[in-house]
C-alpha cells in the first residue's frame, strides 16, 4: 500500500515539475519577445533620428555651398551634386523684393517663353499666313524661307522650322536640312538659346527636325548622334526648361530613337533618368506656384511634401534677408539609399501618411513603427512582418528546444517509473508463480513419501512377517523411492540454470535427427504420428547438448499436451531461411491461447484451465528453451499450429 502511494506521489511530482518547467519556459520566451520588441523599437527610433539628421546636414551643406555663386556657378554645382548623390535633384534660390510679394529668381533662370501670337503677327509670317489657304503644299516652304532673314531670331527660327517641317512632309529631306542650316541659324545648345533669349522648345524642335532630315536622307548614324546629344542635354535641365521640352523628349525623341537604335545606351539611360526629370519638374512647379510665394522670413529648414504622394521632398530655409534657398530631394531614392546602409535593410518599411505606401523589404509595416522626429514627419519607419516572423521563428526554435528537453526529461522519468512499476508487478507475479510451484512440487513429492511411510509403518507393526509380504512391501518402497528420485531429477534438470559448455560447431540436422530417432518409440507408445521433414542446413556454433535438451523439451510438450479426441500428429521441419536454420515443431494438440504466446517463455508461467494435459508442468520447460536458444544468439516464438494446436519455431544462426 505504501509503495503504491509512493508511486502516486512520484507521478504527481513528476507531472508538476514538467508543468512548472513548461510554464517557466513559455514565460521566459514571452519576456524575451517583449525585450526584443523594445530593442527593435529603440533601433527604429535611432535609425529615424539618423536619417533625419542626415537630411538636415546634407541640405544645409548644399544650400550653403551655393551662397555667393552666380547662376552659372550654381548650375554647375547642382549638376555635380545630382551626379554624385543618389537622391539630390535640384536647388532653387530666390529673393522677395522688400515690401512686395514679387519673386526674383536667382536660380534657375526662367527660360524664354515662345510668343507664338507675337510671331504670327510679325510682318513676314502674317503675310505667309494670309497666302497659305490659296497655295499648293509645295509652294508654301519657300515662302517661310523668306522669313528666315527676319532680324528677330525668334521669328527667323520659327520660319526655318516651319519650312523644314513642310519639306519633310513632302519627302524632301535635303531641302529640309538646308532650311534648318541657313546662315545665322546654327544648331544651338539649350544654354546658348537661353543666352540669346530664344525659346528652349523651339531650339529642341529645330534640332529634332534636323535629325529627322538626316534619317530620311540616308544618314541614320548622324541622326542617331543628334538625337542622343539632344536627349542627354535635355535630361539634365532645370525645371523651367523641362516645362517646355520634357514632353517632347518623352514622346518624339524617345520614339524616334527606339526605331533608329533600339539598343542605344542613351535609351537605357533615359529609362533611369526620366523619372528623376519628372520629379524635378514636379518640384519646380511646386516651388514656383506655392513654396516661393508663401516663404516666410526667418524660416529654418522647413519641409514641404506632396500630400498625394508625389516622390519629392522640398527643404527650404531663409539664407539671408529676403533671400531663400530650397533643395529638392527624390524621396524614393533617398529612402532606398538610407535603407541600404541600415543594419537590416531587407526588413525596413517606410509608409507615407497618405494613401500611397512605399515598401522596402517584404510585406506591409507591422505595429512596430516610429515617427521621424523633425525633417521627415510625413513618414513612418517600421519593420515588416517578415522581421517579426523571423524573430518568432528563432524564439520558437529555442522554445521548442527547451520544451523538448523538459518533455524528454519528463518522459524519461515516466519511463523509469513505469519500468519500476512493471518490475515490481513482475516480481510479484514471479513470487506468486514460485509459491504455486512450491505447492505443486510439495504435493508431488509428498505422494511417494506417504506411500513409503505407509509401507514402513506396516513393516514396523509386524504386518510383513511373511517373507513374501515383506518382499512386496520392499518392492513398493523401492518403486515409490524411484518415483520420488525421478521427480526430483526431473525438476532439477529443468529448473537449474544451464551454463553453456565450451562452444563448438555441430550439425543441426544430425543433432535433431538423433533426438527424433530416440523419441520415436515414445511417440508410438503415446499414439502420436511423427512426421519429419529435415533439410541439410549446415553447422551452428554453440552448445550441442544444451540445444538437444531444448529440442527434446519441445518434443516432450507435444506429447504432454495432445488431445484425446483426435489422432495426434506432430510435424518437425528443418530448413534454411535468410541465412538461419529454422526448426519448427507443430502439433494438433490443445494449443496455446494467443494472449499467452509470449508469456509462456517466462519462468513459472503455465496456461491454466481444464484439459491442459496429463502431466501438468511447472512452467519451467519453455523458459529453459528460450534461455538455451538465446545463449546461441537465436530466437523462439509460439504460433498457431495444426488445427488449433501449437507451433514452436526456433531460429539459429549458421556458421559459415
On whether residue 482 sits in a domain, the answer given is no
Across the chain, what does the average pLDDT equal?
Answer: 82
- The yes-or-no verdict on residue 288 having pLDDT over 50 is yes
- The yes-or-no verdict on residue 635 having pLDDT over 90 is yes
**Residues 514, 430 share a domain:** no
- The yes-or-no verdict on residue 611 having pLDDT over 90 is no
**Residues 40, 163 share a domain:** no
Of 184, 217, 233, the residue that ends a domain is: 233
Residue 614's pLDDT band, with cuts at 50, 70 and 90, is: very low
Q: What is the pLDDT of residue 12?
A: 79
**Residues 587, 507 share a domain:** yes
Higher-pLDDT residue of 482, 243: 243
Taking residues 587-610, report their average pLDDT.
81
**Grid coordinates in use for 435?**
509459491
Of 218, 233, 248, the residue that ends a domain is: 233
**Residues 119, 45 share a domain:** no
On whether residue 90 sits in a domain, the answer given is no
**Residues 606, 505 share a domain:** yes
**Residues 221, 148 share a domain:** yes
| Letter string b/e over residues 535-570, b meaning 16 or more CB atoms within 10 A of that residue's CB | eebeebbbbbebbbbbbbbbbebbbbbbbeeeebbb
Q: What is the pLDDT of residue 101?
A: 73
Please report, to the nearest 10 degrees, the dihedral formed by the alpha carbons of residues 590, 595, 597, 600 taken in order: -90
Q: Which domain holds residue 369?
A: 1-64+342-438
Q: What is the pLDDT of residue 436?
A: 57
Please provide residue 589's backbone torsions phi and psi, each rounded to the nearest 5 degrees.
-80, -150
On whether residue 469 sits in a domain, the answer given is no
Of 420, 438, 456, the residue that ends a domain is: 438
Burial of 608 (0-12, 13-18, 19+ CB in 10 A): exposed
- The yes-or-no verdict on residue 612 having pLDDT over 60 is no
Q: For 453-464, how does the pLDDT look when each residue is reduced to its tens digit (9 = 90+)?
A: 666 766 766 666
**Residues 549, 636 share a domain:** yes
On whether residue 13 sits in a domain, the answer given is yes
On whether residue 238 sits in a domain, the answer given is no
Q: How far apart are CA 589 and CA 568, in angstroms?
A: 7
Residue 349's pLDDT band, with cuts at 50, 70 and 90, is: confident
On whether residue 647 sits in a domain, the answer given is yes
On whether residue 127 sits in a domain, the answer given is yes
Q: How far apart are CA 164 and CA 141, in angstroms?
A: 7
- The answer to which of 33-42, 478-487, 567-576, 632-641 has the lowest mean pLDDT is 478-487
Taking residues 468-489, report their average pLDDT.
70
Q: For 150-206, how does the pLDDT look when each residue is reduced to its tens digit (9 = 90+)?
A: 888 899 999 999 999 999 999 999 999 999 988 877 888 888 888 888 899 999 999
Taking residues 359-369, report their average pLDDT.
57
Taking residues 256-270, report their average pLDDT.
91
Residues 6+ apart with CB under 8 A from 376: 48, 51, 52, 55, 303, 313
**Residues 512, 405 share a domain:** no
Q: How far apart are CA 92 and CA 304, in angstroms?
A: 14
On whether residue 329 sits in a domain, the answer given is no
Higher-pLDDT residue of 69, 5: 69
Q: For the residues of 91-137, what is the DSSP string, one character each?
A: EEEEEE-TTS--EEEEESPPPPPP-HHHHHHSHHHHHHHHHGGGS-G
Q: What is the pLDDT of residue 451?
A: 66
Q: For 215-243, how does the pLDDT look when each residue is reduced to its tens digit (9 = 90+)?
A: 999 999 999 999 999 999 999 899 999 99
Higher-pLDDT residue of 630, 492: 630
Q: For 396-409, how does the pLDDT look when each residue is reduced to its tens digit (9 = 90+)?
A: 666 666 667 767 76
Residue 296's pLDDT band, with cuts at 50, 70 and 90, is: confident
Higher-pLDDT residue of 430, 182: 182
CATH code, 547: 3.30.565.10
Q: What is the pLDDT of residue 430?
A: 60
Q: How many domains does the chain have?
A: 3
- Percent of the chain surpassing pLDDT 90: 29
**Residues 135, 209 share a domain:** yes
**Residues 521, 424 share a domain:** no
Q: What is the pLDDT of residue 497?
A: 47
Cα separation values, 26 from 22, 29, 37, 387, Å: 6, 5, 16, 21
- The yes-or-no verdict on residue 92 having pLDDT over 50 is yes
Amino acid at each position: 500500500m505504501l509503495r503504491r502511494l509512493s508511486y502516486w506521489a512520484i507521478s504527481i511530482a513528476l507531472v508538476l515539475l514538467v508543468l512548472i518547467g513548461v510554464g517557466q519556459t513559455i514565460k521566459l520566451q514571452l519576456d524575451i519577445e517583449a525585450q526584443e520588441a523594445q530593442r527593435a523599437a529603440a533601433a527604429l527610433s535611432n535609425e529615424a533620428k539618423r536619417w533625419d539628421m542626415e537630411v538636415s546636414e546634407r541640405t544645409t551643406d548644399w544650400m550653403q555651398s551655393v551662397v555667393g555663386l552666380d547662376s552659372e556657378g550654381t548650375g554647375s554645382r547642382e549638376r555635380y551634386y545630382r551626379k554624385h548623390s543618389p537622391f539630390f535633384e535640384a536647388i532653387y534660390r530666390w529673393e522677395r523684393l522688400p515690401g512686395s510679394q514679387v519673386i526674383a529668381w536667382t536660380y534657375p533662370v526662367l527660360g524664354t517663353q515662345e510668343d507664338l501670337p507675337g510671331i504670327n503677327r510679325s510682318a513676314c509670317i502674317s503675310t505667309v499666313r494670309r497666302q497659305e489657304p490659296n497655295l499648293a503644299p509645295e509652294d508654301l516652304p519657300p515662302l517661310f524661307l523668306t522669313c528666315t532673314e527676319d532680324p528677330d531670331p525668334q521669328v527667323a527660327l520659327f520660319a526655318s522650322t516651319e519650312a523644314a517641317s513642310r519639306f519633310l512632309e513632302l519627302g524632301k529631306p535635303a531641302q529640309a536640312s538646308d532650311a534648318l542650316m541657313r546662315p545665322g541659324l546654327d544648331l544651338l545648345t539649350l544654354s546658348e538659346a537661353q543666352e540669346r533669349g530664344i525659346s528652349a522648345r523651339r531650339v529642341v524642335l529645330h534640332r529634332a527636325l534636323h535629325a529627322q532630315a538626316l534619317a530620311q536622307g540616308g544618314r541614320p548614324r548622324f541622326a542617331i548622334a543628334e538625337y542622343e546629344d539632344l536627349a542627354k542635354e535635355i535630361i539634365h535641365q532645370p525645371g523651367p526648361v523641362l516645362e517646355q521640352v520634357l514632353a517632347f523628349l518623352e514622346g518624339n525623341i524617345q520614339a524616334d530613337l527606339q526605331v533608329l537604335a533600339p539598343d542605344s545606351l542613351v535609351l537605357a539611360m533615359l529609362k533611369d533618368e526620366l523619372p528623376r526629370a519628372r520629379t524635378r519638374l514636379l518640384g519646380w512647379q511646386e516651388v514656383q506656384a506655392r513654396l516661393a510665394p508663401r516663404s516666410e522670413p526667418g524660416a529654418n529648414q522647413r519641409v514641404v511634401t506632396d500630400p498625394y504622394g508625389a516622390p519629392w521632398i522640398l527643404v527650404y530655409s531663409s539664407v539671408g534677408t529676403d533671400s531663400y534657398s530650397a533643395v529638392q530631394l527624390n524621396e524614393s531614392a533617398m529612402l532606398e539609399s538610407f535603407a541600404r546602409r541600415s543594419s537590416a535593410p531587407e526588413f525596413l518599411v517606410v509608409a507615407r501618411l497618405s494613401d500611397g505606401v512605399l515598401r522596402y523589404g517584404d510585406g506591409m509595416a507591422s505595429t512596430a513603427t516610429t515617427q521621424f522626429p523633425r525633417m521627415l514627419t510625413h513618414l513612418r519607419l517600421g519593420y515588416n512582418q517578415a522581421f517579426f516572423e523571423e524573430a518568432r521563428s528563432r524564439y520558437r526554435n529555442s522554445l521548442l528546444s527547451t520544451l523538448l528537453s523538459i518533455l524528454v526529461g519528463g518522459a524519461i522519468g515516466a519511463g523509469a517509473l513505469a519500468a519500476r512499476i512493471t518490475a515490481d508487478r513482475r516480481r510479484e507475479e514471479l513470487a506468486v508463480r514460485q509459491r504455486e510451484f512450491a505447492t505443486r512440487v510439495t504435493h508431488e513429492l509428498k505422494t511417494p513419501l506417504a506411500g513409503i511411510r505407509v509401507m514402513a509403518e506396516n513393516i514396523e507393526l509386524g504386518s510383513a512377517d511373511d517373507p513374501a509380504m515383506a518382499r512386496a512391501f520392499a518392492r513398493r518402497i523401492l518403486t515409490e523411492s524411484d518415483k520420488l528420485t525421478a521427480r526430483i531429477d526431473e525438476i532439477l534438470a529443468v529448473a537449474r540454470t544451464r551454463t553453456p559448455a565450451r562452444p563448438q560447431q555441430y550439425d543441426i540436422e544430425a543433432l535433431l535427427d538423433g533426438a527424433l530417432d530416440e523419441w520415436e518409440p515414445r511417440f508410438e507408445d503415446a499414439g502420436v504420428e511423427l512426421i519429419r521433414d529435415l533439410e541439410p542446413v549446415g553447422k551452428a556454433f554453440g552448445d550441442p547438448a544444451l540445444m538437444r535438451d531444448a529440442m527434446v523439451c519441445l518434443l516432450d510438450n507435444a506429447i504432454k499436451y495432445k488431445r484425446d479426441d483426435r489422432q495426434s500428429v506432430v510435424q518437425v521441419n528443418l530448413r534454411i531461411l535468410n541465412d538461419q536454420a529454422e526448426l519448427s515443431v507443430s502439433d494438433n494438440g490443445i494449443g496455446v491461447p494467443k494472449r499467452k504466446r509470449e508469456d509462456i517463455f517466462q519462468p513459472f508461467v503455465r496456461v491454466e484451465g481444464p484439459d491442459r494435459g496429463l502431466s501438468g508442468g511447472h512452467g519451467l520447460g519453455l523458459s529453459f528453451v528460450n534461455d538455451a536458444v538465446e545463449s546461441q544468439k537465436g530466437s523462439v516464438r509460439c504460433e498457431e499450429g495444426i488445427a488449433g494446436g501449437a507451433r514452436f519455431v526456433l531460429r539459429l544462426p549458421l556458421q559459415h
